[in-house]
Amino acid sequence: MEPLLELLGLAKSAELLSLSPPGWGGNLLRGLVNSLQIAFGAFGFGLVIGLFGAYGKLYGGVVIRDLLAIYTTVIRAVPELVLILILYYVGTDLVNKIAQAFGYGRVEISGVFAGIWVLGIVQGAYSTEVLRGAIQAIPQGQIEAARAFGMPSLMLMRRVTIPAMMSFAVPGLANLWLIATKDTALLAIVGFSELTLETRQAAASTRAYFTFFLAAGALYMMVTLFSGAAFNRIEKWARRGQPSLRGKN
Amino acid sequence: MAELGAEEIDTQNADEEAIRVTDLRKSFGTLEVLKGVSLTAHKGDVVAIIGGSGSGKSTFLRCVNFLETPSAGQIIVGGEEIKMRPDGSPADRRQIERIRTQLGMVFQAFNLWTHRTLLENVIEVPVHVLKVPRAQAIKRAEELLDRVGLGDKADVFPSFLSGGQQQRAAIARALAVDPRVMLFDEPTSALDPELVGEVLTVIRDLAAEGRTMLLVTHEMKFAREVANHVVYLFEGRIEEQGPPAEVFGNPKSARLKQFLKTVG
């Protein structure tokens, strides 16, 4: 292995990327784990918001519908970087004010929690629209049949609406997940040590910009490939019972 | 035939009322679709509801289980009156959910749950709404699927079946709750002509075994054959009703005569 790397002139890069110091590989992987943690949390939090948002927009009263319209419009109108700055500083400020009002001192907010909160709110706006569209795509008769057989509304949501809308929602949700993994890079601006910030620090300390950014790119790429495979399986499962569009297979 | 029909009704009058609808009204905005329809079915009755397009027959059926909210009227299922708010919506969510499980509905468009196999469709309501033990529900579902001739299709998803097969599965799903009354909303209207027969055969069997049914249909010959009471709706009112031999063989109203002529 080592002679080969020597031959290719990559010995220096391998050393820089090695997992234990003086290599920076460990830092990059820690950054990746942080990024994935936040992406996962934000995507999940966004899904919860999205489900409530979609139901609210479809079945809610006038006030709820208007509030949700403002939410989805504003969030989707403002650049994410700006939103992250606003939500991060407003969020931490708000938490501190509340803490002080109750007589506590300044609280240190965990970066992961803040990241999930900020990106989750952004994701929620997009999820709301993806899920709303998916629910509307369900043949109404299926929901009507559930009602006609006396299904209470929560059970109807769990047993009929959500499984029936999945096949319509999965492609859009896969997009959102991939966006979430990459939006974590924007959190570098508030000093959260996710993959991009770790990469920048490693690159700046060693002057090996190309090596580290290429490595980070490869990591993001791997996340995308794995996600693609996972979502393919999820979609296959969600589409069970529907004939393939390619005809017989 | 006429005498037999009359006799049947007489003996059943002594029986309990399965469903009684009194003065049902329904408006969509300013359009009054039902202008006071009353109808009673005793246990074992098969009531066919016929009428032209826009006569309100489907709306009537959908009001019975509150898929549409009636504007006014009274509905009693198995002696229990459905509590209504002044605007016609059900006042007691639990009550309407419970009563709906006693009204097995079969839709024109089948409305099977496409992400579930036939067996899963049939056990869904018993297991989750009625809390029947799963094994017991499966056993019963297999019997019902057998009965409608789909015993070998239990693990197939609805989209892979013909309309006739889907509708038979939908009938099995409705039977699985052991309904007090079955509601058929034009069960053969969405089917290719060659598939109508297999569905009618199943319904005919149910009638023969004494299932109580309200049947909205375009199949006049079939209505005449299986129903013991026929109701002709015209513009939201009952224009004429009676035993099938009377309604079809000796219609009194000019509109019904005209209608029977056009539908052949």
Contact between chains at B116 and A241 (C-beta distance less than 8 A): yes
Contact between chains at B67 and A147 (C-beta distance less than 8 A): yes
Let me know: does B25 contact B35? Beta carbons within 8 Å.
yes
Q: What is the pTM assigned to this prediction?
A: 0.83
More confident residue, A45 or A205: A45
Interval B85-111: pLDDT, tens: 888 888 889 999 999 999 999 999 999
Is B12 a residue whose pLDDT tops 50? Answer: no
Name the B residues in 107-166 with CB < 8 Å from any A CB. Answer: 107, 109-117, 124-125, 128-129, 157-160
Q: Is residue A4 included in any domain, yes or no?
A: no
Name the B residues in 89-118 with CB < 8 Å from any A CB. Answer: 93, 96-101, 103-105, 107, 109-117
Contact between chains at B112 and A145 (C-beta distance less than 8 A): yes
In 3-state terms chain A splits into helix, strand, coil percentages (rounded to 5) of 80, 0, 20
Interval A139-175: pLDDT, tens: 999 999 999 999 999 999 999 999 999 999 999 999 9
Cα Rg for chain B, rounded, in angstroms?
18
Domain ranges of chain B: 2-102+181-263, 111-178
Contact between chains at B129 and A149 (C-beta distance less than 8 A): yes
Q: Does A169 touch chain B (CB under 8 A)?
A: no
Task: Among A141, A150, A166, select the one facing B129 at the smallest CB separation.
Answer: A150
Q: Is residue A202 included in any domain, yes or no?
A: yes
Distance CA A236, CA A214 (A): 33
Q: List the structure tokens of B54.
A: 């826009």
Q: Locate the chain A residue with the closest alpha carbon to B99.
A: A150
Q: Does B171 touch chain A (CB under 8 A)?
A: no
Q: How confident is the model at residue B11 (pLDDT cuts 50, 70, 90)?
A: very low
Interval A116-144: pLDDT, tens: 888 999 999 999 999 999 999 999 999 99
More confident residue, A246 or A38: A38
Interval B207-259: pLDDT, tens: 988 899 999 998 898 999 899 999 999 999 999 999 999 999 999 999 999 99
Is B264 a residue whose pLDDT tops 80? Answer: no
Q: Is residue A52 included in any domain, yes or no?
A: yes
Q: Locate the chain B residue with the closest alpha carbon to A166.
A: B115
**HEC readout, chain B:** CHHHHHHHHHHHHCCCEEEEEEEEEEEECCEEEEEEEEEEEECCCEEEEEECCCCCHHHHHHHHCCCCCCCEEEEEECCEECCECCCCCECCHHHHHHHHCCEEEECCCCCCCCCCCHHHHHHHHHHHHCCCCHHHHHHHHHHHHHHCCCHHHCCCCHHHCCHHHHHHHHHHHHHCCCCCEEEEECCCCCCCHHHHHHHHHHHHHHHHCCCCEEEECCCHHHHHHHCCEEEEEECCEEEEEECHHHHHHCCCCHHHHHHHHHHC
Residue A241: its chain B contacts at CB < 8 A? 114-117, 157-159
Q: Is residue A11 included in any domain, yes or no?
A: no
What's the confidence (pLDDT) of residue B144? 94
Residue B117: its chain A contacts at CB < 8 A? 241
- Which fold does the domain B2-102+181-263 belong to in CATH? Rossmann fold (3.40.50)
Contact between chains at B114 and A241 (C-beta distance less than 8 A): yes
Q: Is residue A105 included in any domain, yes or no?
A: yes
Task: Among B104, B110, B128, select the one facing A159 at the smallest CB separation.
Answer: B128
Is B5 a residue whose pLDDT tops 70? Answer: no
Q: Locate the chain A residue with the closest alpha carbon to B177.
A: A149
Structurally, chain A folds into a number of domains equal to 1
Nearest-neighbour CA in chain A from B179: distance (Å): 10
Is B8 a residue whose pLDDT tops 50? Answer: no
Residue A144: its chain B contacts at CB < 8 A? 67, 107, 111
Write out the residue range of the structural domain in which residue A165 sits: 27-238
Domain harbouring A165, CATH code: 1.10.3720.10
Residue linked to tokens 């004939």: A243
Task: Among B100, B104, B111, select the one facing A142 at the smallest CB separation.
Answer: B111
Let me know: does B187 contact B167? Beta carbons within 8 Å.
yes
Residue B160: its chain A contacts at CB < 8 A? 243
> Side-chain half-sphere of A209: how many Cα atoms within 13 Å?
1
